[in-house]
């Protein structure tokens, strides 16, 4: 089976990392077409996956775009659509991994008679998408897609609520290679020493810095915790959110906890940094479609606390393989941190249980097999 994968981003976000794992088994007979250049192309090349940047023109449509803006973008997309159509003739299947890729892939599918698969990585709520964007996504998927793969029951439910067809929608969670998340004690000791974390109870947050990711909630909680608790923030602003980054720095200064918060920016050694944490926090204020960081923390053998909403509640069972708190409630989050600090033996056993179950439930080979079986039905 020859597959043309399409993705709008040049940066490796959660959807792109998922695509990387899905494309690996097809590297000898696939192409990943990107709508922007960037480090994701480099990552694909490092994994010997064929990749081509199909356009260098920035697509102006955003999640909050209006109908007029959406329609005006069609003229801009015309050369890209024509190029994708030409390439698609050499492939058996078009696999759209993002919303802009869905729109382009839908038209290419219609004109080339190639089946279209849409991998849904978002919760299509009005909180994150304009009514126009939701309508375009749902209509394109219903009209042109032969299969929709949702990354969680929460994503599927939001899609169906927005008018999506449930009969063509299947839930397949993200897959992970658990070997990546095993670090030696010496490596962990070395990185903690380099970062000045020795003797500290370290709470890690791994995400781009954005208001809905809730880093400010974690900082509020930290101010309510004992002095030995330190936070590391791994990630930076991606989409013009520098004002929020400054807000976080101001918040840390106002609370007089500058020595207890470390802004590490983007890092390539995330598994090692996770292993250096005592607890990994997921603090999104809006429902998360899936929550890769949660599973990564579990596979790293770390305690994990997550906001009780969206896909996170499909991953975390409170007190069994992790902890949940009410989204936005810094007092609840602080209490979980203090519990993990004071009862390290019991909470470490919960983390070990999480690692064992996650390594089976989200094994990348099993997940890829599920996807392969779904794709074979279309061909």
Could you give the 3-state DSSP secondary structure of residue 145?
strand
> How high is the pLDDT of residue 56?
82
Q: Are residues 117 and 204 in the same domain?
A: no
Q: How far is CA 70 from CA 85, 119, 123, 224, 227, in A?
A: 21, 21, 20, 45, 50
CA 227 to chain centre: 32
pTM here is 0.90
Domain count, the chain: 2
Residues 316-334 as b/e (b if ≥16 CB within 10 A, e otherwise) read beeeebbbbbebbbbebbb
Q: Are residues 107 and 32 in the same domain?
A: yes
Q: Are residues 10 and 151 in the same domain?
A: yes
Q: Are residues 244 and 115 in the same domain?
A: no
> How high is the pLDDT of residue 67?
43
DSSP 292-332: HHHHHHHHTT-EEEEESSTTHHHH--BTTTBEEE-TT-HHH
Q: Are residues 38 and 101 in the same domain?
A: yes
Q: How far apart, in whole angstroms, are the C-alpha atoms of residue 83 and residue 89?
A: 10
Q: Are residues 142 and 171 in the same domain?
A: yes
Q: Are residues 153 and 244 in the same domain?
A: no
Q: Are residues 167 and 204 in the same domain?
A: no
Q: How far is CA 101 from CA 35, 59, 60, 141, 373, in A?
A: 8, 11, 13, 11, 23
Q: Are residues 202 and 236 in the same domain?
A: yes
Q: How far apart, in whole angstroms, are the C-alpha atoms of residue 150 and residue 142?
A: 14
Q: How far apart, in whole angstroms, are the C-alpha atoms of residue 20 and residue 152?
A: 18
> How high is the pLDDT of residue 68?
45
Q: Which domain holds residue 122?
A: 3-175+363-378
> How high is the pLDDT of residue 74?
63
> How high is the pLDDT of residue 190?
96
Which residue is associated with the tokens 């927005």?
Answer: 162
Q: Which stretches of the chain are DSSP H helices?
A: 14-23, 39-46, 67-88, 99-112, 131-144, 153-161, 185-194, 215-222, 242-254, 270-275, 292-299, 312-315, 330-342, 344-361, 364-378
Q: pLDDT in tens for each of the 379 residues of the chain?
A: 999 999 999 989 899 999 999 999 999 999 999 999 999 999 999 999 999 999 987 765 555 544 445 555 666 789 999 999 999 999 999 999 999 999 999 999 999 999 999 999 999 988 778 898 899 999 999 999 999 999 999 999 999 999 999 999 999 999 999 999 999 999 999 999 999 999 999 999 999 999 999 999 999 999 999 999 999 999 998 777 889 999 999 999 999 999 999 999 999 899 999 999 999 999 999 999 999 999 999 999 999 999 999 999 999 999 999 999 999 999 999 999 999 999 999 999 999 999 999 999 999 999 999 999 999 998 7
Q: Are residues 167 and 215 in the same domain?
A: no
Q: Are residues 134 and 258 in the same domain?
A: no
Q: What is the CATH number for 51?
A: 3.40.50.2000
């Amino acid at each position: 089976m020859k597959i043309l994968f399409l993705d709008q981003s040049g940066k490796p976000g959660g959807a792109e990392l998922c695509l990387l794992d899905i494309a690996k088994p097809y590297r000898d007979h696939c192409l990943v077409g990107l709508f922007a250049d960037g480090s994701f192309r480099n990552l694909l090349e490092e994994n010997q996956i064929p990749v081509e940047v199909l356009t260098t023109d920035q697509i102006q449509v955003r999640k909050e775009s209006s109908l007029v803006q959406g329609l005006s973008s069609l003229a801009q997309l015309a050369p890209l659509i024509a190029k994708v159509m030409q390439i698609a003739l050499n492939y058996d299947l078009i696999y759209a991994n993002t919303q802009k890729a869905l729109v382009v892939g839908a038209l290419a599918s219609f004109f080339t008679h190639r089946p279209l698969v849409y991998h849904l990585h978002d919760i299509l709520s009005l909180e994150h998408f304009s009514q126009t964007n939701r309508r375009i996504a749902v209509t394109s998927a219903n009209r042109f897609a032969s299969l929709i793969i949702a990354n969680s029951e929460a994503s599927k439910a939001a899609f169906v609520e927005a008018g999506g067809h449930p009969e063509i929608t299947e839930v397949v969670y993200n897959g992970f290679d658990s070997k990546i998340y095993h670090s030696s004690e010496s490596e962990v000791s070395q990185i903690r020493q380099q970062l000045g974390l020795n003797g500290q109870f370290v709470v890690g947050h791994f995400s781009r810095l954005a208001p809905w990711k809730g880093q400010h909630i974690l900082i509020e909680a930290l101010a309510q915790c004992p002095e030995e608790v330190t936070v590391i923030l791994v990630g930076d602003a991606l989409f013009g959110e520098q004002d929020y980054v400054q807000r976080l720095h101001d918040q840390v200064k106002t609370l007089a906890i500058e020595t207890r918060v470390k802004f590490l920016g983007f890092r390539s050694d995330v598994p090692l940094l996770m292993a250096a944490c005592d607890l990994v926090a997921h603090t999104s204020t809006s429902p998360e479609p899936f929550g890769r960081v949660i599973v990564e923390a579990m596979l790293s053998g770390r305690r994990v606390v997550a906001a009780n909403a969206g896909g996170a509640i499909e991953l975390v069972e409170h007190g069994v393989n992790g902890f949940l708190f009410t989204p936005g409630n810094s007092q609840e989050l602080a209490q979980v941190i203090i519990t993990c600090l004071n009862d390290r033996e019991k909470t470490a056993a919960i983390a070990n249980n999480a690692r064992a179950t996650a390594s089976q439930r989200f094994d990348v080979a099993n997940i890829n097999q599920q996807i392969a079986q779904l794709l074979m039905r279309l061909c």
